[in-house]
Each structure stands twice: as C-alpha cells, then as structure tokens.
Structure 1
Amino acid sequence: MKTRSTRCISAFARVIIVSMLFCSTTVLAQTDTANPGKGLTRNMIESGKYQGFLFTDVKGIRLQFNGYVQTDFLHDFMQVGNIHAMQPSSITTPTVYDGNTAFTIRQSRFSFTAYGAPDAKGRALKAVLEFDLWGSTSGQPRLRHAYIQHGKWLFGQYWSNFMDNDNWPNVVDYWGPNSYIFTRLVQLRFTQNIGRSATLSFSAEQPGGDITIPDTWAGRTVYPDVTGALQFNFGKGDESHVRISALFHPIDYKNADKKNKTNIAGAGNISGNINMSKNNDIKFQLAYGAGYAKYSEDLGGLGYDAYASAQDKRLRNIQMIAPWLYFDHFWTNSLGSTIGYGYLHLNTRDLNMPDNSIKETHYASFNTTYYFTSFFKIAGEVMYGRRVNISNEAGDDVRGQFSAFFKF
C-alpha cells in the first residue's frame, strides 16, 4: 500500500513528465569528458556541482532534473545495527562475530531544480527538491533538500551552515567519517561575498535538542539554533578552502518540577579542502564544544547533546571533540583511491550515565574507484569501525563494500 508521501512524489513526477511532453522544451544532454574521475567525486555530487538534464522554456522556468542510481553490495564480518551505512555507534558491544550481507539501492537519489528569471535588481532565483531512497529498507523515497534561494538568502531544508558541505572525502559509504558534522535542517540563511575569495554566512536553524532525560521531563523547542561561518578560498581556481564556523545551540526543556529551563550549548568547527597538487587533496575537520551531538553523523538522534538522570534537577551538556582527516589521490584520470580516519570522543566522566553509554567511536576506510566515463563508476571499499562504552567495553566491525554508480 502506497504511503501519502509516495503518492505525492509519484504525482509530482507525473506532472514533470507531462510538462516535458506537452511544453516547448529544449533538452541539453550531458557529454562525456576526457577527465571522468574529477567530475564524479563524492564532493562534486554532494555539493551540487554536477549538472543534469536541462529543460528550458517551460512557462518561463528553466527546469533541471538530475540524480543517480547506486547499487551497494555490503558484507559485515561482525554484528552491527546499521547494515546499510557504517555507523560505529551501532556496533554491538562486546564484539559479536556474526556477519551479515546486504544488497541495497538506498543511496540512489533524484532532484528537481527550477530556475526563475532574476528580479528587477538582478537577484537570482531557484528552488530545489531532492529525494533519495533512504526512507525504508525497500527503497521508499525520503526528502533530503527542499529550499528556495533568492540572491543572498536561502529558505528551507539544506545542509546546516555549521557543516562544511564542500570538503567531502571521496568515500563510497553513505555516511562517511563518524565524526563528520553532517545534518540537514530547515533554516533561514544569509550569505555575503567578501572580496573575491571569501564568504560570510549566518543562519537561524531548526530548534530542538537531542537529549536523554527522565520520563517525567519533557523537551521543548523555543529558540532556534544560530550559526556563523567564514570561508576563505585560495589556490588555483579557488579549489582549496578553509572554513571556520560557530554554533549557538539553545536546548529547551521542562524538568520534573515543571520548570522551563534552557541550556546554552555551542561548538566551533574548522574544516577545509587543501588541493596539494593536480591529483592529491587533503580534507579535514576539527570540531569541539558541548551539546552539539545533534549535528554529528554518528550520534545524531541518539540523545547525546545533554543528559539528566532521575535524581538530577538540571540537564548537563556533553562535551565532544570530533576530528577526521582524509586523503584523496588519483593514480590516473580514471583511477583513484581514498584513505582516512575519524575519531569521536565524549567527555562523560561526571554525568553518571549508564555503563553502556558511548565514550568514543572510531572509523577508518580505504577505497579504490574506477571511472569508466564521467557518468559511470565502480568502487570497492574496506571500512573499520569501533565503539567503546563508558565501562571500556568495546566492539568492532570490519565491512567490505562494492558499489556501481551511474549519474544522470
């Protein structure tokens, strides 16, 4: 039985197809390039730099449709909760040597971008709807991005401004490094260019804390998160950058005495992409603060922003450090490899959390990718994940993944 969201997406797709058939359109198809690998990296895909099929003259709106199909074949040698993405926080502790094989198409995605004519002041206008098949194990569509961009302003759901969405390591795994600041939130964002090679951006983002509290308490959403980021671009073609961002994260709640409280959490993040030479890139991140696990790839949704036990009168933020470092190398125009490591550590010493709570996680991976054309690639990746609890009980997993990818 189709869900309401599936029916809406199907109806929207039919409208697009009918528009293509009955409106006056010009179709600009993709062309292959002499350097297929550089145009099909994970960073090009996630940062929206690659193009799709462009349909013009549809009632004055230019419509672009793009996406990709990806098939993943995965095998875990130890027991892990998340069988589709390497999530070290879901590894069983202690290690259980009980493997699992999964075949999936959940990474596949599609998006629609509409470009409107600039307004009277020349400000560009576009809107984006993007979906992937991560909504269920059977591949149900799930909304990723839905936003409007008008000149310097962005309204809607997009990558958080606290995240660097232009330094993706060229991994095959869906989530990548465990310590990646990785989340999409509904927001209002303003971006201003500073000179030729720098940008300054501010955003008010979706409120709410990712907390663990007793049953007699309640979480509240009152004040939005606020972020600021400054990015410097440099090098040949401004291919390199360093980004410094800050997060102000109010956590609102009601304790057992029915008193409304607000914790002030926050963090800083320095990240970047350094183009060392024609075929070598270093990508990195170092984030530190308290109460920002909501923004973590590995811990988001698990309640590690802050903690309170039944005996507590107040919520206490959890300190976290989250670095990762990756190296991308192209052996030839059609063959590349990526290697790197991520580390995430929580300071939980004085919080009296349960012994099976997470103290730290580790993530390492190596892959080799072959690019047949600028549309099609295959890749093999080996990953290692480790979870360590407060009790120092630990669990490990080794995963192998083979993937085939075609973009359109």
Structure 2
Amino acid sequence: MRHDFAASSLAVAVAACAAFSSLPAQAQSTASAEQLKAELSQMRQQLQQQQQMMQRMQQRLDELESKEAAQASAAPAPTPAAPSAPLVASATGPTPEESRIHRPPSALPATAEPLPEGYVQLGDTGNLIKIDVVAQFDMMFDNKFMGAKDLFVPSSIPVQGQPFHDSDSRSNLSAKQSVFRLDFRRQTDYGLLKVVYKNNFFGSGSGDMPYNMQYLYGELEAKDYSLIAGYYLSAFTDIDAFPNTLDYEGPNSFTFKYTPQVRYSPIVYRAGEGKLTVPMSVEKPNADIAQIGDFETYSRIPDLTLGLRWETPDWHIQWANLFRDLGVQSAIGDEHRNTDAYATQLSFAAGLFDNDSVQAWASYGSGYANFLQDISGFGLDAAFNANTDLKAIDAGGWGLGYTHGWSDNVSSSASYGYLRIDPDEDMLIDPSLPKSTRFASLNLAWQFSERAMLGAEYLWGKNTDLNDNDGEAQRLQVTLRYDLNP
C-alpha cells in the first residue's frame, strides 16, 4: 500500500510540472509581471490543496495499516489443512463391528457385507458405488438322474417305483452361480443409507443363463437401529449361519427365502463388543398349498416375523419366529378355508481357533414348508383333510456345518441336514411327495490367488416319500470362481 501512495504523489508532482511547463513561451515573454504573479499564486494554492489531500490520504493509510496489524496479532496461528478423509470413511460411516470369523475360500460369494475398499464416488452427488462381478463355473457328475440339474436337491431324487430310479450316471456344466452386485451408499442426517442390487442366473426362463434377481433393497443404518425396505432375504433366514458349500442350494433343511418386506431392527442393549437386536418384519405372504378344484391360495394378512439376536465379532445366536395366515377361496360361490401357521428357529455361528468355524440351525412349526430349502414349492404349507377343512402341515428340520482352515487360503467344509414333514393321516396329499430328506457335503477349496478359487465337493442325498419309498444319489462338483471386487 505504501508503494501505491508514493506512485500517487509522483503522479501529482509530474502533473504540476507538466502544467507549468506547458505555458506558451510567447505568453511568458509578453505577459505582464502582474499576470505572472497572479498565475503563480493560483498554482501555489493548487499545490497546497494537493499536499493537504496527500496528507489526509497518508493519515488514512496509517490508520488502516495499524488496524490490520492489530487483527493479525490477535488471530490464532493458522492450522495446517487436515488431509482429506479417505473414500472408505465416506462409504462405511462409523466403524462397524466387523466379524472376526474367518471367511474361507468356499464361502458363498457376494452375500456378506462388502469390504470397505473399492468404492467410487459418483461426481459431486455424495453417492458412492461398488461393483462386484463373480464369474463361476461348475462341473457336476451325478450317479443318477436328478430333477434339479444345476442344484443338488434331495427331494428331486427318484425313489423306488418312480421313473429314473435306476438311471445311468450323467454330467452337467453350469455358470448360473455367477453374480452381478451393485452397492450404493451415502451419508444422511439419519445415518448411512445403502441400496443393494444383486442377481444370479437361476431364473425360471429358458436357456443356460436365465436372469434371477436376488436383492433390490434399501437400508438405513443408524446408531441404534437399522431399517430395510425392498426385496431381500426373509428375516426368518439367518444367512450368517449358512454353511460353506460349493453347491448353491446348500443343506435341505436350511430356511432360505427371498421376499418383498419392510424390516426394523432396533438395538436394545450393548455390552462390550456385543449387541442385542430385536429384528421384526412384515413380508409378502406366499401361501404354498396343494390346490383342489377351483380353489386359489391367498392370505388375509402378511407374514410377520419377530426375533432376538445377540451378536459379537466372534459369534452370534438368533431366535426367530414366524406367524402366517394361510387360506384358499373358491371362484364359485366364494367358499373359503383358512388356517393359522407358525414356526420358530434357533440358529448359531461362531469362529473357532484361527481359521475354523461352526454353524448350526434347527426349526419347527406348522405351515412353513415354503421356507424350507428342499420342499419349497411343493404345496406342503397346508392341505385339505377328509372333511375339506384346511389344516397346516407340521414340519421340522435341523443341520450342522463345520469349516476347518488348513491355512489362510485352503479350507475344508462339511455339512449335514435333515428335514421331515408330519401331515395328519386324513390329509389329502399326493403320496409321492417327500416325507423326509437328508443331505451331506464335504469339500476342499483353494484360494490360489486374491480373486480366484478352485474347489471340489462331494454331495450325498436321500429322499423318502410319504409311502416310505426312498432313493439316494451322489454328486461330485468341481468349481472355478473369479470374484472381481469382494
């Protein structure tokens, strides 16, 4: 600022000199002394006015500089700019209580909460996205014909007296376990908002790779609760207790169901690293009833679940309860029948040693066969009896799984499952339907690179129908999997 003031003073002086020197030479030689005195007096007055103006400007400048100096001395020293937070912090929000249970190479891909790495910011929207693509190839060798070619389903094994009971061995190749998953996240005033999409290729359409959507839901994860809305696994399903099988279907007795729902899970108690939640949901009712005549299935209310879950990074236990209404109604005369249904399930998973883990589950109820992996879709939720009353069918199942890690990259997993239905003697049910099924598996999986796995699995199953005819089958499956961004 002082440089600006000096330049202004110099400009004034130059202007005055220029004005004085610009007087015509002829006027100076001919003008009278009086005229020169008058002009000189006038110029002196102008110079005095310029000097007074410059003095006032100098005074104002001094005041401004003094004020700025005082403000600078009173202000705190500038804090160095903090390094920008990594993208992972924006993606995950508060540090979650991550599981310490070792995830073996044979674990089902694109099912668990994704790792925090790999998210990309979408411009200035505040949204983050993570893309995961799993390409999986399965080669299967069966000792006989099974109704479900790409899945090992004991209830599809032919029993004595049925076609293909003594069929020849056969092979199959499949890529239906391949997965495409998108995870969107953003921070909100209420918590971390997630939107998840996932599909595989076990659809009902024709061709080798029919599309099948598995997830499309949103979740608000707040400090004291989570809220889910959309298409997702039922709250009655405990996917964290699913054993590590290479076969996608898994144990026959596991309760595995996708459904539209809204789910609220408040955290009611914390102790150390553990927390107690009370998951509850309202879900689409899919009554699975063997129909007679022109009756159509329906439900007066949605399926309801209520549970308790204690969870720590090393283990969890969950108790879930299911409440249903099952009904049929005739298109002629609007005649209808209804029955209540319920089920309860206890499931558990824990890490052992460094790389081992155990899983267990047991369920029992009446009218929940559509939730049981092996007999879903057979119309075994309920049936008519001899008096044409609608009655829910009793069912139950249990299972175990164990994984041993030979190293961080090599593991073996074994699992067993058993389920059974117990209909009343006078129920009108097709006697060729399953009465009980059994399942067993044993595998060896090798994570030969960070994103690739090779494994082999032996599977055994047994099917017993309502007439006590049975049949057994075996399968050898070899799997090669690439996971782009787990």
Interval of TM-score (by shorter of Structure 1 and Structure 2): 0.7 to 0.9
- 1:114 is aligned to 2:184: yes
Q: In structure 1, how many angstroms separate the alpha carbons of the residues matched to 2:136 and 2:115?
A: 16
Q: In the alignment, what sits opposite 1:249?
A: 324
Name the aligned partner's letter for residue 192 of structure 2.
Answer: A
Q: In the alignment, what sits opposite 2:152?
A: 86
Name the aligned partner's letter for residue 278 of structure 1.
Answer: D
Partner-residue secondary structure (3-state), 1:337: strand
Count of matched residue positions in the alignment of Structure 1 and Structure 2: 370
Name the aligned partner's letter for residue 182 of structure 2.
Answer: F
Q: In the alignment, what sits opposite 2:404?
A: 329
Distance 1:215 1:247, change over 3 A: same
Q: How does 1:58-73 map to 2 (within 5 A)?
A: 58=123, 59-73=125-139
Counterpart of 2:252 (choices 161, 174, 178) is: 178
Counterpart of 2:231 (choices 133, 157, 167) is: 157
Q: In structure 2, how many angstroms separate the alpha carbons of the residues matched to 1:108 and 1:188?
A: 27
Which of the two has greater strand per residue?
1
Q: How does 1:8-407 map to 2 (within 5 A)?
A: 38=103, 40-42=105-107, 45-50=110-115, 53-58=118-123, 59-94=125-160, 95-119=165-189, 122-135=190-203, 136=205, 137-151=207-221, 152-196=226-270, 197-234=275-312, 238-255=313-330, 258-308=334-384, 311-350=386-425, 351-407=427-483
Identity %: 23
Q: CA RMSD in A?
A: 2.1
Q: Give, in angstroms, the shift of residue 276 of structure 1.
A: 2.6
Contact kept? 2:106, 2:455, Cα under 8 Å: no
1:332-351 Cα deviation digits (max 9, x unpaired)? 11110011210010102412
1:57-92 Cα deviation digits (max 9, x unpaired)? 333211111131110000110111001111111111
Contact kept? 1:52, 1:65, Cα under 8 Å: no
Contact kept? 2:364, 2:396, Cα under 8 Å: yes
Q: In structure 1, how many angstroms separate the alpha carbons of the residues matched to 2:109 and 2:140?
A: 24
TM-score (norm 2): 0.72
Contact kept? 2:320, 2:344, Cα under 8 Å: yes
Partner-residue secondary structure (3-state), 1:377: strand
Q: In the alignment, what sits opposite 1:20?
A: none
5+ residue gaps in structure 2?
A: 1-85, 89-99
Q: Give, in angstroms, the shift of residue 40 of structure 1.
A: 4.3
Contact kept? 2:288, 2:379, Cα under 8 Å: yes
Q: Looking at CA atoms only, which structure, 1 or 2, has the larger radius of gyration? A: 2
Contact kept? 1:306, 1:318, Cα under 8 Å: yes
Q: Give, in angstroms, the shift of residue 355 of structure 1.
A: 2.2
Contact kept? 1:335, 1:369, Cα under 8 Å: yes
5+ residue gaps in structure 1?
A: 1-25, 29-34
Name the aligned partner's letter for residue 127 of structure 1.
Answer: V
Contact kept? 2:110, 2:132, Cα under 8 Å: no
Name the aligned partner's letter for residue 366 of structure 1.
Answer: L
Q: In structure 2, how many angstroms separate the alpha carbons of the residues matched to 1:117 and 1:288?
A: 40
Name the aligned partner's letter for residue 170 of structure 2.
Answer: N
Contact kept? 2:138, 2:477, Cα under 8 Å: yes
TM-score (norm 1): 0.86
Q: Give, in angstroms, the shift of residue 307 of structure 1.
A: 1.2
Q: In structure 2, how many angstroms separate the alpha carbons of the residues matched to 1:204 and 1:304?
A: 22
Q: Give, in angstroms, the shift of residue 44 of structure 1.
A: 6.6
Q: In structure 2, how many angstroms separate the alpha carbons of the residues matched to 1:43 and 1:191?
A: 24
Which of the two has greater helix per residue?
2
